[in-house]
C-alpha cells in the first residue's frame, strides 16, 4: 500500500486527464497508463488482504503512513483505524520532517533525546518516546523565545492592520507558528481566530506562566476534538504530547 499511497496524487491528476477523453494525445496515453497501474496495485493489495497475507495491524501501520499531516493522523486514531503505536511512529516521522525544515538542529534534537532517555525513568529504553518528548521541549523553548521577542510588534500589527494587508498576514503567520511550537502541534491547528481570542494567554505563556500554557492547550484541544471528547477518560493522555 505504500506504492498505492505514493501514487494516489498522480492517479487523481491523471484520472482527470483521462476523463477529458482526448484519446489521441500523448498526455492521454501516459495518464491512462498511470490510472491502470493504480487500479492494478489496488486490486493486488485487496487480493492479498483477502487471502490473509496482511493482518489488521499492518493495515493500521500503512494507513498511518498515508496521513499527510497531524490532523489526518488524529482523525485515524479517533476513528480507531490506527493504534497509539502506529500514531507515535508516524508522528515521529512528521516531527523529523518538521525539524529538517525548521530552525531546530537535528543533532541537538537527537542528543537531547538521548539525554532524556538516559536520565528520565519514564523514558528509559524508549528512544521513540524520548525523541517525541525532546521535540516537545525544544519546540516549546523556541516558540516562547519567538513570542517573547516579537509579541509586542505582532500584537500591534494584528490589532491595528487590515486583515488583507501583507504585514497582517506576515505577523499572524509568524505568531501562529510560534504558538504551534509552544503547544507542540502542527500550525494548521492554530487558526487566526484562536490567536485573536487567546491573545492574553499567549502573552502570559511567553512570560513563563505554566497555567496559561495549559489553558491554551485545553482551548485548542476543545476546538479540535470537542468538549465531549475532552471529557472522555484518558483521551488527552492517549494523544502523546498533545
pLDDT tens over the chain, length 242 residues: 344 444 455 656 666 666 666 677 777 777 767 666 655 555 554 554 445 444 455 556 666 766 767 777 777 777 777 788 888 778 777 776 666 556 777 788 888 888 888 888 888 888 878 888 888 888 888 899 999 999 999 999 999 999 999 999 999 999 999 998 898 887 878 899 999 999 999 999 888 888 998 899 888 877 765 554 445 444 444 443 43
What is the pTM assigned to this prediction? 0.56
**Cα separation of 108 and 153, whole Å?**
30
Q: What is the dihedral of CA 66, 68, 69, 73, to 10 degrees?
A: -10
Q: Where are the domains of the chain?
A: 102-242
131, three cell numbers? 525523541
Q: Which residue, 235, 117, 102, is CA-closest to 174?
A: 102
- Residue 186 near residue 69, CB atoms below 8 Å: yes
Amino acid at each position: 500500500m505504500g506504492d498505492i499511497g505514493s501514487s494516489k496524487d498522480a492517479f487523481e491528476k491523471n484520472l482527470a486527464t483521462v476523463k477529458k477523453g482526448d484519446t489521441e494525445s500523448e498526455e492521454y496515453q501516459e495518464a491512462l497508463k498511470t490510472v491502470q497501474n493504480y487500479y492494478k496495485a489496488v486490486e493486488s493489495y485487496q487480493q492479498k488482504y483477502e487471502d490473509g497475507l496482511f493482518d489488521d495491524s499492518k493495515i493500521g501501520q500503512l494507513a498511518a503512513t498515508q496521513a499527510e499531516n497531524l490532523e489526518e493522523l488524529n482523525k485515524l486514531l479517533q476513528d480507531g483505524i490506527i493504534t497509539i503505536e502506529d500514531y507515535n511512529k508516524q508522528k515521529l516521522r512528521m516531527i523529523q520532517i518538521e525539524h529538517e525544515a525548521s530552525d531546530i538542529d537535528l543533532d541537538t534534537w537527537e542528543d537531547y533525546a538521548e539525554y532524556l532517555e538516559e536520565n528520565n525513568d519514564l523514558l528509559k529504553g524508549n528512544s521513540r518516546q524520548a525523541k517525541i518528548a525532546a521535540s516537545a521541549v525544544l519546540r516549546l523553548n523556541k516558540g516562547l523565545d519567538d513570542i517573547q521577542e516579537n509579541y509586542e510588534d505582532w500584537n500591534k500589527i494584528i490589532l491595528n492592520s487590515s486583515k488583507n494587508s501583507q504585514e497582517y498576514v506576515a505577523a499572524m503567520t509568524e505568531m501562529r507558528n510560534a504558538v504551534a511550537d509552544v503547544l507542540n502541534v502542527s500550525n494548521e491547528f492554530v487558526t487566526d481566530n484562536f490567536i485573536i481570542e487567546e491573545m492574553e494567554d499567549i502573552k502570559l505563556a511567553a512570560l513563563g506562566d505554566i497555567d496559561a500554557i495549559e489553558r491554551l492547550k485545553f482551548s485548542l484541544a476543545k476546538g479540535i476534538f470537542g468538549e465531549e471528547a475532552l471529557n472522555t477518560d484518558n483521551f488527552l493522555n492517549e494523544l502523546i504530547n498533545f
